[in-house]
Each structure stands twice: as structure tokens, then as C-alpha cells.
Amino acid sequence: MRRCSGEVQITVPILPENARKRELSGRTEGAINLGDLRLFYACPLPPPALDALQHIQDTARRAGWRGRFTDRSGWHITLVFLGTTAPERLPGLERAGAAAVREAGPLSLRLKGLAALPSSHKVPPRVLVVELDDPLHRLERLRQGLLEALSLKDTRPYRPHVTIVRLAQEATQPALPHIAPSALRVVKLDQLVLYESHLLPDAARYQIRGAWTFSA
């Protein structure tokens, strides 16, 4: 098991205010202290996976999808979004991360293809994502382990994905492009990270608050 800390500067367009409010829906509301942290657990992606995702994003761009194309430096698979969190909770969050990876082992998933989410006909999609296939539900079990360790409950279906475009709401989007099977490669995950997200006017900066390597 290995822990580390540091900062990564990325150029991911931030969510508009109404989307951030939706992201926090269902959680306890209250005054947000200036010292609170905006945290989430996620798995970073290795370079071969980033290259495959870059190819898929370029394919979507050529097909005419419109919106803000996210930068590969910020691509990750979110497991648990914690939202605004008091700094004194960090030690407990670090213990939960360390405990979760003990039973996980390295994870192998496969890029599944493109999807526009949400997929409901009642509202237009907000993001274009690449979904991942987790047939053994190992990532889901890792997520559930974190939720249980933190006494949290989230009954929503979990769909592991990477967001590659935040869609322009006023634009008519084309059909999903065909993705060559060779681009839908296996993704090997070997680390769980606790990130802090700093929202800037036109980008987000992610600071690593804890990182744990899965046991072999």
C-alpha cells in the first residue's frame, strides 16, 4: 500500500452553478464554511487508456458533437463524490481509502462505448461519456466498500464512465459515431485516489489528498 500527496493542474471546464447544485442533491444541506473541502474518490487512468480515450474523443469531435471537450489530464473514473467536507474528516477518509484497497487487487475493465447522459427523453443530455464494462462488478464492490466504511448510502445505479464532452445545451447533436472495436481496449486500474477539487473561473484544479495502490 502506498500513499502520496501533491497537486495536478488541469483544464477541465467546471460545471455551471445549476449543475453543481444537482450534483449535490440528496446530501445534507447547510452553510458551507470557507475552510471546507470539495472531495471525491476516483481511480486515475494509465497512459494507454488515456490514448484510447483521446482517439474516441477525437472521433466525437470529427462527428460534429458540440460542447466543451474535457482535457485528458483530468480524466478519471469517479467512485464516490463526497461534496463539501470539513477538513477534520480527512483522517477518517484516509483510513477508509486504505481499508478499501486491501480487498480490491488490481482491476481490469474494458472501454464499452459512447453514451450521452442522462439518457432520459425528458431532459436533453448534459455530457458525452465513454462507459466502462465491469462484468465482475469489482469496481462496484470497491465503491460499496467505501460507502459502507463512511456510513453513506447511494442507491442510484452505478455506471462507471469518463466524461469527454460537456455538451452545449442549445446545440442539436448528431448521432453517436461508430467506434472501432480496436479502440475499446482493456483498462487496468491500480490506484485509488482521494482528490480535492478547487473550482476556478474556467477550470478545476485537482489536489491529491491521499493515494493507495491496490494489493497485487
Domain of residue 148 covers 6-27+34-213
pLDDT at 119: 82
User: Torsion angle, CA of 26/167/205/191, rounded to 10 degrees?
Assistant: 70
Q: How do the residues of the chain divide into helix, strand and coil, expressed in percent and rounded to 5? A: 25, 35, 40
Domain count, the chain: 1
| Residue 43, pLDDT above cutoff 90 | yes
Q: Which residue has the higher pLDDT, 41 or 18?
A: 41
In this structure, is residue 179 part of a structural domain? yes
Answer whether residue 1 is part of any domain. no
Nearest to 210 by CA among 190, 189, 195, 188: 195
- Is residue 59 one of the residues assigned to a domain? yes
CATH number of the domain that residue 20 is part of: 3.90.1140.10
pLDDT at 208 over 90: yes
Question: What confidence tens digit (pLDDT) does each residue in 83-98 have?
Answer: 999 999 999 999 999 9
β-pairing, 76-85 vs 186-189, is unpaired
Tens digit of pLDDT for each residue in 6-22? 443 333 333 333 333 33
Q: Is pLDDT at 211 greater than 90 in this prediction? A: yes
- 162: DSSP letter: E
Q: What is the pLDDT of residue 7?
A: 40
* Residues in CB range of 12: below 8 A, 6 or more apart: 70, 71, 73, 74, 203, 204
* pLDDT at position 60: 97
Instruction: Compute the average pLDDT of residues 197-202.
Output: 80
Q: What would the mean pLDDT of 59-85 be, rounded to a whole number?
A: 95
**Does 41 reside within a domain?**
yes
Q: Evaluate if residue 35 carries a pLDDT over 50.
A: yes
pTM: 0.81
- How large is the average pLDDT for residues 102-128? 89
**Residue 181: inside a domain:** yes
Q: Please give the average per-residue pLDDT across 37-47, as a whole number.
A: 96
Q: Could you give the percent of the chain with pLDDT greater than 70?
A: 83
Cell of 211: 493515494
Q: Higher-confidence residue: 215 or 186?
A: 186
Domain-embedded: residue 171:
yes
Mean pLDDT of all residues belonging to the chain: 84
User: Residues 137-158: what's their mean pLDDT?
Assistant: 93
